[in-house]
């Protein structure tokens, strides 16, 4: 099996990490492929099966947990399971690409612990909890209750930032995008073989 590297982006919901990950995916020279997670949460807006997530029922998800099919999984919000299937990483490595993850803080740290040398774990920090609230409200994808749940979780997540390799503050998006690009590019080039083992 060819082995690429693992780039993890974790952050409280609404920090802008998805925007950063999408930006990096548009840079062909980075040779990144998005790790499509499995989730038991309902499909949202114009999301597509197999592109944004593999949408599973809670029963299907639990069966895969039992069969040890996940590299990591979390019940991120009550009854909403999210996880990275082992087959997803294998699929991307077999394409000769590096994997980029947009996952929650615990999942991100779990991947870093499993593959400490192969993984760059990046924490994206929102300017403040108040700003996060404004962003989540603007996004209009969650109701008031869900927003409050995400805010409560965000405060706990912010405390885990020092456990990551790098923290990028998403105050000005343009700066955050540039910083993310440079950090990832340096990491991917930090070994002669670029992480891809033939």
Q: How many residues bind ligand 5GP (CB under 6 A)?
A: 14
- Identified binder of ligand 5GP from the candidate list 83, 100, 119, 195, rule CB under 6 A: 83
Q: Hunting for tokens 């991917």 — which residue is that?
A: 188
**Least distance (Å) from ligand 5GP to the CB of residue 53?**
7
Per-residue mark of binding to ligand 5GP, 7-36 (x: CB under 6 A): ------x-----------------------
**Distance (Å, whole) CA 139 – CA 196:** 38
Our finding on whether 84 is near ligand 5GP (CB under 6 A) is yes
**Measured from the CB atom, is 69 or 196 closer to ligand 5GP?**
69
The total number of residues written for the chain in this structure: 198
Evaluate whether 142 touches 150 at the Cβ level (below 8 Å): yes
Our finding on whether 122 is near ligand 5GP (CB under 6 A) is no
Residue 163: count other Cβ atoms within 10 Å of its Cβ: 14
Our finding on whether 107 is near ligand 5GP (CB under 6 A) is yes
Across 6-35, b (16+ Cβ under 10 Å) vs e yields bbbbbbbbbbbbeebbeebeeeeebbbbbb
Stretch that binds ligand 5GP, among 60-68, 97-105, 129-137, 173-181 (CB under 6 A): 97-105
Evaluate whether 4 touches 164 at the Cβ level (below 8 Å): no
The strand pairing partners of 70, in sequence order, are 85
**Measured from the CB atom, is 16 or 83 closer to ligand 5GP?**
83
Contact residues: ligand 5GP, CB under 6 A: 13, 37, 41, 72, 74, 76, 82-84, 102-104, 106-107
């Amino acid at each position: 099996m060819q082995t690429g590297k693992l780039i993890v982006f974790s952050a409280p919901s609404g920090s802008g990490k998805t925007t950063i990950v999408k930006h990096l995916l548009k840079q062909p020279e980075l040779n990144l492929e998005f790790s499509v997670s499995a989730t038991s949460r309902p499909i949202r807006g114009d999301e597509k099966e197999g592109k944004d997530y593999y949408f599973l029922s809670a029963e299907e998800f639990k069966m895969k947990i039992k069969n040890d099919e996940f590299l990591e999984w979390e019940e991120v919000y009550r009854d909403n399971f999210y996880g990275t299937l082992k087959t997803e990483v294998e699929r991307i490595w077999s394409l000769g690409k590096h994997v980029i993850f947009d996952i929650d803080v615990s999942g991100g740290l779990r991947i870093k612990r499993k593959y400490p040398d192969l993984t760059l774990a990046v924490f994206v920090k929102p300017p403040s909890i108040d700003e996060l609230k404004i962003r989540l409200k603007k996004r209009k994808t969650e109701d008031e209750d869900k927003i409050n749940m995400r805010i409560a979780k965000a405060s706990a997540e912010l405390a885990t930032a020092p456990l990551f390799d790098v923290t990028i503050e998403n105050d000005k998006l343009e700066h955050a995008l540039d910083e993310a690009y440079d950090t990832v590019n340096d990491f991917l080039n930090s070994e002669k073989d670029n992480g891809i083992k033939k």
